[in-house]
């Protein structure tokens, strides 16, 4: 008998750069088709184990609070779980009563009570099961670009709630680097210095980054730690302090340029 490899045989093990499936599903905003819903926006699709559960309630509440910040970045949020549409409607009202009383829930929650999407997208957590012994949806995060391609995926266990401020930070990096030939270092925040990728020669870097490039001196003499002020974007400010003196005393990736 041939045994299936459940990890590799799942219908949709997407890689970064793959076009995200254009699924159609019912949601609290009505019937939706993913690509039509996104249009030319970025998208964040995130799943949760279950409605009316403690960690998920805090997550959806925080996502709702941060919804204006996602909108500023032209990002549309979508939640998903294996609960019914009616449960989603009832739960979303509870979430808003706790976090934003009097407000409507700001983004759709997709109903996947047949588990078709979570299976197709590899969103199930085999360690967490419902009262019938069926696996629940894990805490997945998919960031989808305007080109409908997967830009980032993160998978959390059911026991660990997500940090939506970190998801915003990652989106800031993705949007910045999508239009500028730069990379963002560890703990980068909007307004911090960014890095010049090693593949860009020094002469080209001088033309690409007229604000200047600072190269950190290394014992090896190699010149791959290169910093430049963050290029201007539509949603971040261009206020930078001088980085050179601080970098001379050690690598600090949270420094701002003048």
**Within this chain, do residues 73 and 44 fall inside the same structural domain, yes or no?**
yes
Tokens of 199: 């593949």
Residue 110, helix vs strand vs coil: strand
Task: Give CA–CA dist 233/217, Å, rounded.
Answer: 29
Q: Which domain holds residue 250?
A: 180-258
**Within this chain, do residues 135 and 199 fall inside the same structural domain, yes or no?**
no
36-89 residue pLDDT tens: 999 999 999 999 999 999 999 999 999 999 999 999 999 999 999 999 999 999
**Within this chain, do residues 93 and 54 fall inside the same structural domain, yes or no?**
yes
**Within this chain, do residues 28 and 144 fall inside the same structural domain, yes or no?**
yes
Domain count, the chain: 2
**Within this chain, do residues 67 and 193 fall inside the same structural domain, yes or no?**
no
**Within this chain, do residues 127 and 227 fall inside the same structural domain, yes or no?**
no
In a domain, 175, yes or no: no
What pLDDT is attached to residue 41?
98
93-150 residue pLDDT tens: 999 999 888 889 999 999 999 989 988 998 887 777 777 777 778 899 999 999 999 9
**Within this chain, do residues 221 and 149 fall inside the same structural domain, yes or no?**
no
What pLDDT is attached to residue 247?
38
pLDDT at 1 exceeding the cut of 50: no
In a domain, 15, yes or no: no
Taking CA atoms, 165 is separated from 12, 85, 161, in Å, by: 28, 27, 12
**Within this chain, do residues 30 and 156 fall inside the same structural domain, yes or no?**
yes
What pLDDT is attached to residue 11?
37
pLDDT at 254 exceeding the cut of 60: no
In a domain, 203, yes or no: yes
Q: Any alpha helices (H) in 67-179, and if so which ranges?
A: 67-72, 85-99, 116-120, 164-179
- Percentage above 90 pLDDT, the chain: 69
Report, in this order, helix, strand and coil percent for the chain, each rounded to 5: 30, 20, 50
In a domain, 16, yes or no: no
pLDDT at 202 exceeding the cut of 80: yes
What is the pTM assigned to this prediction? 0.83
**Within this chain, do residues 137 and 91 fall inside the same structural domain, yes or no?**
yes
Q: Which residue has the higher pLDDT, 133 or 198?
A: 198
The residue from 102, 133, 162 where one domain ends is 162
Give the pLDDT mean for 161-187: 97
The question of whether 11 is a catalytic residue gets the answer no
CA nearest neighbour of 258 among 243, 236, 247, 245: 243
Q: Which residues of 81-114 are buried (b: 16+ CB within 10 A; e: fewer)?
A: bbbebebbeebbeebbeebeeeeebbbbbbbbee
**What is the average pLDDT value for the chain, to the nearest integer?**
85
Task: Give CA–CA dist 70/76, Å, rounded.
Answer: 7
**Within this chain, do residues 86 and 202 fall inside the same structural domain, yes or no?**
no
pLDDT at 238 exceeding the cut of 60: no
**Within this chain, do residues 243 and 119 fall inside the same structural domain, yes or no?**
no
In a domain, 10, yes or no: no
In a domain, 118, yes or no: yes
**Within this chain, do residues 132 and 66 fall inside the same structural domain, yes or no?**
yes
Domain with residue 87: its CATH number is: 3.40.30.10
Domain with residue 194: its CATH number is: 3.30.1020.10
What pLDDT is attached to residue 104?
92
What pLDDT is attached to residue 233?
60
Task: Give CA–CA dist 141/153, Å, rounded.
Answer: 5
């Amino acid at each position: 008998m041939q045994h299936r490899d459940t990890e590799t045989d799942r219908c949709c093990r997407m890689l970064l750069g793959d076009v995200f499936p254009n699924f159609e599903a019912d949601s609290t905003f009505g019937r939706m088709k993913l690509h039509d819903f996104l249009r030319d926006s970025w998208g964040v699709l995130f799943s949760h184990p279950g409605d009316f559960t403690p960690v998920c309630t805090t997550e959806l509440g925080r996502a709702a609070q941060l919804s204006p910040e996602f909108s500023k970045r032209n990002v549309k949020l979508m939640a998903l779980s294996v609960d019914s549409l009616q449960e989603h409607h009832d739960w979303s009202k509870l979430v808003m009563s706790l976090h934003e009383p009097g407000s409507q829930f700001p983004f759709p929650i997709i109903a996947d009570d047949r588990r078709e999407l979570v299976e197709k997208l590899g969103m199930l957590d085999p360690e967490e099961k419902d009262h019938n012994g069926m696996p629940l949806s894990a805490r997945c995060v998919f960031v989808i670009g305007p080109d409908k391609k997967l830009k980032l995926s993160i998978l959390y266990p059911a026991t660990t709630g997500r940090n939506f401020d970190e998801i915003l930070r990652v989106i800031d990096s993705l949007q910045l680097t999508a239009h500028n030939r730069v990379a963002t270092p560890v703990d980068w925040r909007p307004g911090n210095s960014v890095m010049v990728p090693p593949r860009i020669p020094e002469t080209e870097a001088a033309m690409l980054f007229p604000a200047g490039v600072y190269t950190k001196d290394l014992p090896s003499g190699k010149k791959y730690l290169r910093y430049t002020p963050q290029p201007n974007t539509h949603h971040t400010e261009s206020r930078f302090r001088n980085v050179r003196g601080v970098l001379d005393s050690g690598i600090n990736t949270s420094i701002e340029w003048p």
